[in-house]
Amino acid sequence: MVKNQADLEIIKDAIREAGLRATPARVATLRLLRNSKSPMTHANVASLLKDSGIDKATAFRNLNDMTDAGLLRRTELGDHVYRFEEVREGEHQNGSHPHFLCIDCGAVSCLDSVKLTASSQRASEEIGEVTEILLRGKCNDCKQQTSP
Amino acid sequence: MVKNQADLEIIKDAIREAGLRATPARVATLRLLRNSKSPMTHANVASLLKDSGIDKATAFRNLNDMTDAGLLRRTELGDHVYRFEEVREGEHQNGSHPHFLCIDCGAVSCLDSVKLTASSQRASEEIGEVTEILLRGKCNDCKQQTSP
DNA sequence: AGTGCACCTGCATAAGAGTTGCAATTATCC
DNA sequence: GGATAATTGCAACTCTTATGCAGGTGCACT
C-alpha cells in the first residue's frame, strides 16, 4: 500500500527531525500512538509491541526518549500510571487538552473541546498558572454496569 | 502539658468520630499531619513514625484508612508519589467544587466558582458522569520562586 | 556501496512505592 | 475485667519504572 509507505516516511522524518534515529521500534511506537484515539500506558504500548519482538524496556525507553524529544506527551492522571500520547500538529509543550479518566476502568478520553468559562479562566489565573485540566468520573460503560 | 493532653483527646475523638479506633499509630499520624504545613508523602510519614516503632505497612494502611474515612486527603502531583494532608474543618471530601493543585508545593485550593462552558458541560456528559474536576499547575507563590 | 561508531536494543536484574497474608496484639463494648 | 473484632508488625510480594551491559544497527561520510 502506498498509504503505508508514505506514512512510514512521514513518521521516520518526524522522529529524525526530533533528533532521534528512526528505528523500527520507534516507528512502531509512534504509529501506534498516532492511530490511538486516547493516551496509552506504557504497559499497553509494550504489550502491543511485544508481538513485533520489541522488548518492554525498549518500549519504555523509547516512550521516554520521544517524550524528551517533544514527540510525545506524558501525563499522570492520578492513578500512578504514565500515559503517553502524540503531540499533535500545532500543539506545543503547554497546549495540552483536558483529559477524562474513568475511575473504574481507567479509560482515558481526550476532550479537545472542553473549555472553562471566561470568568472561570480568570478565577483560575488568579490562583496561578494552570497547565493541565483533568476530569474524573465514570464513563458511560462503567455507569451502566454499576447501576443497572 | 495540658495542651498536649487536650490535643490528644481532640485527635482521638476525631478519629473515633470517623469510625476508626484511636490507636497510637493513628494519633501520631494525624498529629503529624495537623502540624504539617504542606502535604506529606507516605515515605515521609512512615520514616517519621518509624522512630516511634510504627511499621511502614501500618503507616500506609492508616493513611489509606483515614483517607477513606474522610480525615485525610490524598493527592498525586504527577511524580508518582501520593501526598496526604489533613482535611480541615469545613472542608468536605466529596465537595463537588473543582480543585487546583500546585505541582510544586502540593497546595490545594478550592475553586468554588470555576465552571465549564455550557457546551463543554454537554461534551463531558456525553462521555460519562464527571465527579471531579482538577486543575494542575503552579500557584503564584511557586511561580515567583522558579522564574525570578 | 562500504564502513565506523555512536546510538539502540534485548535480556536480565533492580529500585521504589505501595500492598497483602497471617499470627499476635489491643481498643472498645459489655 | 473479658470477649471480640479491629489493628499491628513482619515479611514477602506486586507493579511500575529504571538501568547495566553485551551485542546489533542506523546513518553520516567517504
From the CA of B64 to the C1' of C29: give the distance in Å: 25
Residue B3: pLDDT above 70? no
Query: What pLDDT score does B121 carry?
Result: 87
A133 touches B: beta carbon within 8 Å: yes
A144 touches B: beta carbon within 8 Å: no
Query: What pLDDT score does A143 carry?
Result: 79
Contacts of A54 (CB under 8 A, 6+ apart): A24, A25, A28, A46
Interchain CB distance below 8 Å, A128 and B142: yes
Q: Is the CB of B67 under 7 A from strand C?
A: no
A35-39, B49-53, B106-110, range with the lowest pLDDT: B106-110
What the block records as the C-alpha cell of B33 is: 499531619
Residue B42: pLDDT above 90? yes
A8 or A148, greater pLDDT: A8
Closest CA to B28 of A143, B101, B40, A29: B40
Residue B84: pLDDT above 90? yes
- Provide the mean pLDDT of chain B: 88
CA atoms of B142 and B78, how far apart (whole Å): 16
**Nearest C-alpha of chain B: how many angstroms from A79?**
8
Residue B2: pLDDT above 60? no
Contacts of A88 (CB under 8 A, 6+ apart): none
Which DSSP category does B135 fall into?
E
From the CA of A11 to the C1' of C16: give the distance in Å: 35
Average pLDDT over residues B121-133: 90
Query: What pLDDT score does A124 carry?
Result: 86
Residue contacts between A and B (CB atoms, under 8 Å):
115
A30-to-A68, B21, B76 alpha-carbon distances in Å = 14, 52, 28
Do the beta carbons of residue A25 and residue A62 sit within 8 Å?
A: yes
Model confidence band, residue B105 (pLDDT cutoffs 50, 70, 90): confident
pLDDT, tens only, A67-107: 999 999 999 999 999 999 999 866 654 567 899 999 888 89
Task: Indicate the SS3 state at residue A7.
Answer: helix
Q: Is the CB of A26 under 7 A from strand C?
A: yes
State pTM to two decimals. 0.88
The residue type at A47? S
Q: At what angle do helices B42-50 and B24-35 cross, to 10 degrees?
A: 120
Query: What pLDDT score does A148 carry?
Result: 47
Give the nucleotide nearest to A62 (CA→C1').
C8
**Residue in chain A lying closest to B76 (CA):** A78
Nearest 5 degrees, angle CA B8-CA B9-CA B12?
Answer: 85
Model confidence band, residue A139 (pLDDT cutoffs 50, 70, 90): very high
A41-50, A90-99, A121-130, B58-67, range with the lowest pLDDT: A90-99
Do the beta carbons of residue B73 and residue A73 sit within 8 Å?
A: no
